Chain A
Amino acid sequence: MKALLAFVFGLVFGCGILISGMGNPAKVLNFFDIAGTWDPSLAFVMGGALLVTAIGYRLVFRMGKPLLAGYFSLPTRQDLDVRLIGGSAVFGIGWALTGFCPGGLVPVLGLGTAPLMTGAAILAGILAARWMIQLSYRKAAVQA
C-alpha cells in the first residue's frame, strides 16, 4: 500500500515537472540567462509549488502524524555550514552546465541518451560525495 501510493505520488510529481517545463534543459538554462534569452517561467513553477506546499504542509502537520507512518521525518538542523553553502554553489554550477536538476531529470530519463548520461553522472557524484564525507568522518575519528 505504501509503495503503491508512493508510485502514484511519484507519477503526479513527474507530471508536474513535465507540465511546468522543469524537465526541459533549454527552458531551465534560459531561466538562468537573465542577460540573454531570459525565460522567467520557472519562477512561476517555484511560486505554484511553494503556494500549495506552504498551505498543504501546515494542514498536514495539524494531523499530528502521517496516515501510514509513525511520525513526520523532518530535518532538524538549523546551523549554516560550509558543506551546505559550498555544496549548494557546486550544485548551482553543475545545474547550469546541464540544465538538469535531479527532480527535472528523473521524469525525462527515458526520453534520450542525454538525460541518461547526465543521470549516470549524478549518481556517480552522489556516491563520490558519500565516500568523501565518510572518509572525512573516519579521519576525524582517528584524530580524536
Chain B
Amino acid sequence: MTEFTPLLSFAGGMVIGLATVALMAVHGRIAGINGILNGFLTTQFNQDWAWRAAFLAGMIVSPLVLLGVTGQMPEISVPSATPLLLIGGFLTGIGTTYASGCTSGHGVCGISRLSARSIVATVTFMTAAIATVFLTRHVFGG
C-alpha cells in the first residue's frame, strides 16, 4: 500500500509544469526527459548538449535541495527484482525512443499542445502499463 496523496501530488505536478513552461519560455525546448537523455548521448559537446547536461544535472541534485528545505530525503521503494529492472529499463529506453517521447514529452508537453500523436501515445503506454501490472500482480504473481 502507498498513501493517497492528492494535494501533494497535484502540487508536485504543478511544479513540474512550471519547469516545463520555463524551459519553453527561455530555451524554446520541450521538457521531455527521454528526448533530453537522447540528445545528451552524443559525442558533439555543443550548446545543445550543454543545456541538456545542465538540466539533467539539476534533476540529479534535486533531492539534496529538497533535503535542505524539508529536512528529509524523499521516500523511494523499489518492489521489482533486479532482472525485472534491467529488462524493464531496456524496454523503456527502446519504447520511448521509437515513440519519440515518454511521460513528460508526450504526457505533459504534447497533451497540453493537444497533439494527436501525444494523446494516442499516452493512452497507449498507460493502457499497456495497467495491463502489464494486472498480469504480473493478479494473473502470474498472485
Q: From residue B82, how far is it (CB to closest CB) to chain A in Å?
A: 7
Given contacts A13-B16, A16-B19, A73-B30, contact A29 B133 (CB under 8 A): yes
Given contacts A49-B14, A89-B95, contact A60 B90 (CB under 8 A): no
Check B138–A44 contact: CB distance below 8 A: no
Check B80–A41 contact: CB distance below 8 A: no
Most buried by A among B12, B57, B108, B126: B12
Check A102–B20 contact: CB distance below 8 A: no
Provide the main secondary structure of the chain B interface: helix
Q: From residue B70, how far is it (CB to closest CB) to chain A in Å?
A: 9
- Over the window 61-85 of chain A, the binary record of Cβ atoms lying under 8 Å from chain B Cβ atoms (1 yes, 0 no) is 0010111111111110111100111
A121 within 8 A of partner (CB): yes
Given contacts A2-B47, A117-B82, contact A57 B12 (CB under 8 A): no
CB within 8 Å of B: which A78-96 residues = 78-80, 83-96
Check A107–B59 contact: CB distance below 8 A: yes
Given contacts A45-B9, A75-B30, A107-B63, contact A15 B15 (CB under 8 A): yes
In the complex, what distance in Å separates the CA atom of A9 from the CA atom of B115?
Answer: 24
Partner of B15, one of A19, A37, A104, A114: A19
Check A12–B97 contact: CB distance below 8 A: no
Partner of B84, one of A98, A103, A123: A98
Given contacts A11-B59, A86-B98, contact A96 B120 (CB under 8 A): no
Check A29–B79 contact: CB distance below 8 A: yes
Inter-chain contacts of A17 with B (CB < 8 A): 12, 16, 59, 62
Q: From residue A123, how far is it (CB to closest CB) to chain B in Å?
A: 6
Check B74–A66 contact: CB distance below 8 A: no
Which residues of A are in contact with B by a Cβ distance under 8 Å?
A: 2-27, 29-30, 32-37, 39-42, 44-54, 56-57, 59-60, 63, 65-75, 77-80, 83-104, 106-112, 114-115, 117-130, 133
Given A56-B17, A97-B87, 19 new contacts (CB under 8 A): A2-B50, A13-B20, A46-B107, A52-B17, A52-B21, A56-B20, A56-B24, A67-B26, A77-B117, A85-B99, A90-B95, A93-B95, A94-B88, A102-B37, A106-B59, A108-B74, A120-B89, A126-B94, A127-B93
A-B contact list, 29 entries, CB within 8 Å: A2-B50, A2-B51, A6-B52, A9-B58, A12-B58, A15-B62, A15-B66, A18-B63, A32-B129, A34-B130, A42-B9, A48-B15, A50-B111, A66-B28, A68-B26, A73-B30, A84-B99, A84-B100, A92-B125, A94-B87, A94-B89, A97-B80, A97-B91, A99-B79, A114-B80, A117-B85, A124-B90, A125-B95, A128-B93
